[in-house]
Structure 1
Amino acid sequence: MSRHVQNFALIAIACLSSPVWGAEMSLLPEKGSTPVIEMWYLNGYTPSYPEVIILADGRMQIMSPEGPQRSQLPVAQVETLVKQLWKVDGLCHVQTDSMNKEIQQATVQSGLKSHIEGAGETVFRIQTATETRELRCRAVGVLAVRFPEIKSVLSMAAAQRRLENVRAVATVGGSAQADEIASLAAQAVQTEYGLNVPVSSEHLSMVRALPDGSRFCQFLVASDDHDQSKPVHMISITETPGHHPEVSMMGGPVTR
């Protein structure tokens, strides 16, 4: 066998033996107690708990109105969630320093302010089998609307919405319960506004238990799921025992 053919054979063997990302190679650390996803909201102080923390073995803790709430996710769902944050939302391409430079440049070019008085800071900590990354951005929702040309800010906004949805779905007791509330919201919007808005459990963003025993749920339904700068329908539904659900809807950009 010639040296050229030998080299080609070695290259072919190396390619066949290399792991294919996303197909066979797991993104999750081997140790089940490793935090793989964390989302924090900071506003002048560091809270005792993150808004969302998910371990490699599927254990999850969220901050609900009543305090920390624990639940269990299938490991496969955790793997999918990490891939969605990393590849679909694009956090793998985000670096905090580079993003801040882009924001500063956009501020100079547009004349729009990037400093929002009193705005909190969103912090993500993602740990995969091969990498640990911490990402920070203040006023994510506002900046995503103000500077839609900055892809890293849009990635942060998309990831924030995804994890807020995870937290909200867990707060109401799971996907089945969230689907029921979404169906109720869609019917109420059709009745009150005559609009057919495709509300699903994936749009559930916030849940609050009120002192009178009622429950307030908020859905964010984007007019374009692929463009975070497009207008968003903010649908709020309040369920009170013994009364018909009350629904309200606002259109336009929604900011945090």
Structure 2
Amino acid sequence: MTEPTEPTTDDPNTTAADRTPPSVAIVDAKTPGNVGTIARAMKNFGFEDLLLVDPPELDPDGEAYGFAGQAREDILPNATELSFDELAESYHTIGCTAVTNEDDRSHMRYPYSTPADLAERLPTIEAPTALVFGRERVGLTNEELARIDEICAIPASEDYPVLNLGQAATVTLYELRTLTLPADGTQLPDLERTRAPEPTLDRLYDQWGALLEELNHPDEKRDKTMRMLRRVFGRADLTEREANTLLGVLRRATERPAED
């Protein structure tokens, strides 16, 4: 593990998109496996800076590295160990905790933001930030929360809102992935679709009309049926390939009765 270094505030002319993504801090984790799980989630969603307060022994041949996946190569061995005092003094801290039904009469765990709220607001904070996760069983103590700058909680069932440490970190980092991953920086293909040109769609509708006529669809229902088909395909935003495929199927269906 590396020694703690004093984070530096970005240049005032730096845009939000250029700012350093939040660090991820784990306070007093009891099991090395949870540290490895969180490191893996960081790798999944583009976070790099792991901070450890009173961590367990992280044996390179042990559970933490076994659970970390590819994060064993960089995030885990480059983690910074520091005290809670150093964490609270050097970062804008966001304590992640379960909602405890407190309201504005208590300021220990209220008000809070959801991870989705943070994804919109964190880029406006011009200071090094850290997402702080507590212990497996008790999370962050009230004394620690008193020194945290703000609270984050994951919306969950009122009957059982408590997530385990690895789950909470993974959900939070997923929601904040827009701070670290460019739109084209995931394994998913580009979802932008090119709508089929209008002449192709017109031929598709003409072919539908020809099929209805071939099937002796009642004259009084054809206009209503064609209007419905136009609206269905209009909502679908067919690509050119999809429209041409449907056009070919409809042609075969239209010609089939004449072949019998």
Q: Flag whether TM exceeds 0.5 (same fold).
A: no
Larger RCO (CA under 8 A, 6+ residues apart)? 2
Q: Hey, which of these two has a bigger chunk of strand by percent? A: 1
**TM-score between both structures, scaled by the size of structure 2:** 0.22
Q: Which entry has the higher C-alpha Rg, 1 or 2?
A: 2
**TM-score between both structures, scaled by the size of structure 1:** 0.22
Q: Hey, which of these two has a bigger chunk of helix by percent? A: 2
